């Protein structure tokens, strides 16, 4: 019913030479795969990656989008600009942006709206910190983060992708167990079900130290429909193996 989606989040890494080398290695990806593959390079390299992607059948994504439409917002990149470069997906509300750029739930909801308005699918990230998990607040945190996006986007909510990324698992090598991840994914699915009758078609990705060793078990869970992959997406062989685990 839902085909898997694997999104590579390159974060603030790479240069023109290393991007070209990484993408050249990904040409070996099975052309008959059923999963969708999205590459999210830094904004500065969208043009370069756009030119190299089609031959692999991958699609272009971005790591962030402005909450504003256009105008005097120095340094910002609008949703329309992303679309101009052929961007089909955009990550919003990544925990690194919530932390280092003080992005609030409301701002994330606004960015989601901007992306949807131009036909780009937002990949909305939610996730608790270790302190929140220890305090028994994991469920409450992710529900609050998703509720803000549901509230601001009404019936369009069925057009988003959700990514559950426990903050304590990002870049740490400490992955959530498949059971822990599934528990949160089921909770998020139930929250979406209350908001839209299309929830069963929506994809909920897992992110946080996903790698070739743990991907198959995570992806086997009922409500895990793909991955948002940071570190392992920068290593061609690892990323290819994630893509094949996703079908
Ligand atoms: P990671 O990053 O795979 O390196 O943990 C995931 C992410 O931040 O999206």
Res 171: pLDDT:
87
Res 37: pLDDT:
96
Helix (H) or strand (E) holding 63: none
**Rounded to an integer, what distance in angstroms lies between the CA atom of residue 192 and that of residue 169?**
24
Nearest to 240 by CA among 17, 2, 31: 31
Region 166-177: mean pLDDT is 90
List, for residues 120-146, the tens digit of each pLDDT value. 999 999 999 999 999 999 999 999 999
Q: 170 CA to middle of ligand 1, Å?
A: 5
**Is this structure's pTM higher than 0.85?**
yes
In a mutational test of the pocket of ligand 1, which residue from 169, 230, 233 has the highest number of ligand atoms less than 8 Å from its CB? 230
CA dihedral (2, 146, 9, 212) in degrees, to 10, reads -50
DSSP-derived pairing of the beta strands 121-126 and 226-229: unpaired
Question: Is residue 165 flagged as an active site residue?
Answer: yes
Average pLDDT, the chain: 96
Nearest to 39 by CA among 172, 245, 234: 234
**Rounded to an integer, what distance in angstroms lies between the CA atom of residue 3 and that of residue 246?**
9
**Which atom of ligand 1 lies at the shortest distance from residue 229's CA?**
3
Annotated catalytic residue: which of 128, 132, 165, 185?
165
**Rounded to an integer, what distance in angstroms lies between the CA atom of residue 243 and that of residue 247?**
7
For the chain, which domains are there? 5-245 (3.20.20.70)
211 lines ligand 1 (CB under 6 A): no
With a pLDDT cut of 70, the percent of the chain lying above it is 100
Q: 9 CA to middle of ligand 1, Å?
A: 7
212 lines ligand 1 (CB under 6 A): no
β-partners of residue 75 are none
The phi and psi torsions of 92 (rounded to 5 degrees) equal -130, 145
List, for residues 11-58, the tens digit of each pLDDT value. 999 999 999 999 999 988 888 889 999 999 999 999 999 999 877 889
For ligand 1, atom 7, the nearest C-alpha belongs to 230
Task: Say if residue 1's pLDDT is above 80.
Answer: no
């Amino acid at each position: 019913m839902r085909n898997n989606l694997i999104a590579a989040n390159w974060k603030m890494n790479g240069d023109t030479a290393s991007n070209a080398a990484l993408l050249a290695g990904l040409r070996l990806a099975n052309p008959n795969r059923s999963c969708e593959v999205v590459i999210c390079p830094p904004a500065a390299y969208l043009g370069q990656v756009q030119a190299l992607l089609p031959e692999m059948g991958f699609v272009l994504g971005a790591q962030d989008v402005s909450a504003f439409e256009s105008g005097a917002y120095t340094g910002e990149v609008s949703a329309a600009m992303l679309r101009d470069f052929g961007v089909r997906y955009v990550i919003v509300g990544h925990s690194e942006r919530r932390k280092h750029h003080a992005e609030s739930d409301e701002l994330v909801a606004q960015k989601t709206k901007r992306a949807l308005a131009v036909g780009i699918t937002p990949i909305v990230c939610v996730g608790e910190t270790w302190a929140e998990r220890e305090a028994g607040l994991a469920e409450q945190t992710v529900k609050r983060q998703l509720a803000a996006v549901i509230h601001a986007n009404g019936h369009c909510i069925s057009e988003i992708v959700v990514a559950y990324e426990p903050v304590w698992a990002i870049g740490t090598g400490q992955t959530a167990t498949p059971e822990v991840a599934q528990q949160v994914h089921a909770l998020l699915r139930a929250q979406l079900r209350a908001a839209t009758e299309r929830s069963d078609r929506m994809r909920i990705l897992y992110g946080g130290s996903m790698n070739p060793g743990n991907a198959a078990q995570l992806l086997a869970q009922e409500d895990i429909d793909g991955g948002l992959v940071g570190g392992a997406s920068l290593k061609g062989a690892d990323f290819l193996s994630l893509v094949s685990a996703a079908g």
